[in-house]
Amino acid sequence: MTHAPTRFPDGFLWGASTAAHQIEGNNTTSDWWRKEHSGTSHIQEPSLDAADSYHRWPEDMDLLAELGFTDYRFSIEWARIEPARGHFSHAEIAHYRRMVEGARARGLRPMVTLHHFTVPQWFEDLGGWTADEAVDLFTRYVEATAPVIAEGVDHVCTINEPNMIAVMAGAAKAGDIGFPPAGLPTPDEDTTRAIIAVHHAASKAVKAVNPDIQVGWTIANQVYQALPGAEGVTAAYRHPREDVFIEAARGDDWIGVQSYTRTRIGPDGPIPAPEDVERTLTSWEYYPAAVGHALRHTADVVGDVPLIVTENGIATDDDDRRIAYTKGALEEVEAALRDGLDIRGYLHWSALDNYEWGSFAPTFGLISYDPVTFERTAKPSAVWLGGLGRTRELPTGE
């Protein structure tokens, strides 16, 4: 039988997410630009022009609005705003302010991320997040963004996936390149402590700009699933990689849940997915139910803090599988809402095919683009998901 369609709440954020370095192009003063041109073996290709969204953001926003989306999460670049220590670019601040105003003019509510994996080269040279001045320097940058975020921005994300930043720092200290077959490297404890302190200071700085802004950060949730007898091992494995960062959000206005797949844990630690499972272009297990587990676990840990799905999606060149994955994920979101979880929105990753930190091959986007002409093309998944933004109704199973 066919069930009545499920309607998402009024005011529910319905959108897509991007990150500046992954779509803007030519972010030449960032640490990642330097990495991309250093000959590092795990970086297959540089970002170069990327999707040229630095210049073509109006086209991107036009498409999202026309498709039916009501929200757009994008990041602003510290490396552009403060390309040299103490030198703040008024032109770049004005550029990002135009993006906020442009989103609003198109009926898109902007969620602004202040840091999405990239920092200025000068900040990296100081020692990055564990430098003595890191809290003060990032806070000063946040204060400088006041003209961008002070009006028309309801939600600000301080730092995207701080747990992954700590994990990458831990891998770098250990001299590791790449990730293990399952699970994540051990996070660096100094980076964990430092980035939590930075988040709390940045949150206060945002509130000083405008106390009505809703502030939070987003956590990469790996959906650690314990096999029988491995519950204690799983909890001990998960805490430094995830839960400590969720706990740090207990005083925030919201927390972002970002989920793509699952990680199974046995008595000896993470277990690779079976060889015969369906995989995405990132080699992750195709597992639409992940977001439901991530929401429920985050709610258990964070307590009375609203949840927003700030990233969820799939790297695939088969758009039918993208639609199927997203439908399965939204059914999980809807089930969690029915169970009483305070979920305020769903933002898909990603609005555009983009630079996935070393390669353009994993295509997560709802919208594709020509790498020479930069002409945008909405995929069927974009039309389908945007259409749900108009109705807020998710047809359920047969």
Q: Are 70 and 41 in contact (CB under 8 A)?
A: no
Confidence of residue 398 (pLDDT cuts 50, 70, 90): very low
In a domain, 257, yes or no: yes
Please say if the pLDDT value at position 144 is more than 60.
Answer: yes
- In this prediction, residue 1 carries a pLDDT of 44
Q: Do residues 5 and 393 lie in contact, with contact meaning Cβ atoms separated by under 8 Å? A: yes
Beta bridge partners of 255: 217, 307
Which tens digits make up the pLDDT trace of 163-206?
A: 999 999 999 988 876 778 899 999 999 999 999 999 999 999 99
Residue 291 maps to a domain: yes
Which candidate, 112, 282, 332, 271, places its Cα nearest to that of 202? Answer: 112
pLDDT recorded at residue 177: 66
Q: Rounded to the nearest 5°, which phi and psi values hold at 254?
A: -165, 165
Residue 2 has pLDDT above 60, yes or no: no
Domain total in the chain: 1
What pLDDT sits at residue 397? Answer: 58
**What pLDDT band is residue 4 in, cutting at 50, 70 and 90?**
low
Average pLDDT over residues 18-46: 95
How many angstroms separate the CA atoms of 313 and 104, rounded? Answer: 25
Mean pLDDT computed over 89-111: 98
Looking at every residue in the chain, the average pLDDT score rounds to: 96
The whole-number pLDDT of residue 175 equals: 81
- Domain membership of residue 89 (yes or no) is yes
Task: Assign residue 254 the CATH number of its domain.
Answer: 3.20.20.80
Residue 1 lies in a domain: no
Residue 249: the pLDDT is: 98
Quickly state the pLDDT bin for 41 (edges 50, 70, 90): confident
pLDDT of residue 308: 99
Residue 130 lies in a domain: yes
User: Predicted confidence band at 40 (pLDDT cuts at 50, 70, 90)?
Assistant: confident
The reply to whether 296 falls in a domain is: yes
Write down the pLDDT at residue 395: 75
Nearest to 145 by CA among 198, 211, 77: 77
Please say whether the beta carbons of 18 and 40 come within 8 A.
Answer: no
Residue 3, both tokens: 């069930």
**Residue 128: both structure tokens together:** 């990055």
The rounded percent of the chain whose pLDDT value lies above 90 is 92
What would the mean pLDDT of 368-387 be, rounded to a whole number?
A: 98
Q: Is the pLDDT of residue 396 over 80?
A: no
What value does the mean pLDDT take over residues 256-265?
98
What per-residue confidence (pLDDT) applies to 19?
98
Percentage with pLDDT > 70 across the chain: 98
CA distances to 32, 158, 237, 328, 338 from 116, rounded to whole Å, are: 11, 9, 25, 27, 32
Give the residue-averaged pLDDT of 145-167: 98
Give the per-residue pLDDT at 393: 86
Q: Which residues pair with 217 in a beta bridge?
A: 255
What is the domain range of residue 294?
Answer: 6-394
Quick: pLDDT tens for 286-317.
Answer: 999 999 999 999 999 999 999 999 999 999 99
DSSP 143: H
According to the model, what pLDDT value does residue 366 have?
98
pLDDT at 93 over 50: yes
